[in-house]
Chains A and B, each alone.
Chain A
Amino acid sequence: EDQVTQSPEALRLQEGESSSLNCSYTVSGLRGLFWYRQDPGKGPEFLFTLYSAGEEKEKERLKATLTKKESFLHITAPKPEDSATYLCAVWGGNQFYFGTGTSLTVIP
């Protein structure tokens, strides 16, 4: 069964404390892995697309990496404004499969 699992469910960091979020998937025939940020009451905001193992993308304090079975979103020296829920999704050929997200709180 196609599935996307994210961990941890919730993460609290001190400002400046770097960490990583994990997204593992069991979708056959992966054709793209996507990271999103969602703020409360808003729609998800697109961050990155990764297509093949070994690929990396960066944006400000965020860096996404991809292996054959999982992806990591590394957050370097986070700031309070990075607090949000981070979602990953994979395109399995006939639909997107979303994980349930990691709720990140960055404490000043």
Chain B
Amino acid sequence: EAGVTQSPTHLIKTRGQQVTLRCSPISGHTSVYWYQQALGLGLQFLLWYDEGEERNRGNFPPRFSGRQFPNYSSELNVNALELEDSALYLCASSLAVGRNQPQHFGDGTRLSIL
């Protein structure tokens, strides 16, 4: 069974640019979550999508946004990049919520802002 896949694996951008990160969940999983993990810090919750709808978002500015497609894949968009956006961005998927299913993670996209 294929795991969660994320692309690209690495990105280098400059301040002010925009970036799109992509995530394909495990087959059969309908929920997708996005996290930011800055160097040496814990996982910070960004967004949760389920069945194509945004269910919850963390304490991040509106320039962080995303969507989930009918095939349950997802993308995360970050506008007006700032230096502090440099981090590992992790995507996770799970079976439908309400059943307390664990998340399964991809290996992330490493975003570096110069």
Contact = CB atoms under 8 A, between A and B. Distances in A.
30 contacts: A31-B100, A32-B100, A32-B102, A34-B102, A41-B88, A41-B110, A43-B4, A43-B107, A43-B108, A44-B43, A44-B90, A44-B105, A46-B102, A46-B104, A46-B105, A49-B100, A51-B100, A89-B103, A91-B100, A95-B45, A95-B48, A95-B56, A95-B58, A96-B45, A96-B103, A97-B45, A98-B35, A98-B43, A100-B41, A100-B42
Candidate in B33, B43, B106, B108 with the most chain A CB atoms within 10 angstroms: B43
A45 interface: yes
Given A95-B56, A101-B42, A42 B107 contact: yes
Interface residues of B, number: 23
B9 to A, nearest CB: 10
Interface residues of A, number: 23
Interface of B: 4, 33, 35, 41-43, 45, 48, 55-56, 58, 88, 90, 92, 100, 102-108, 110
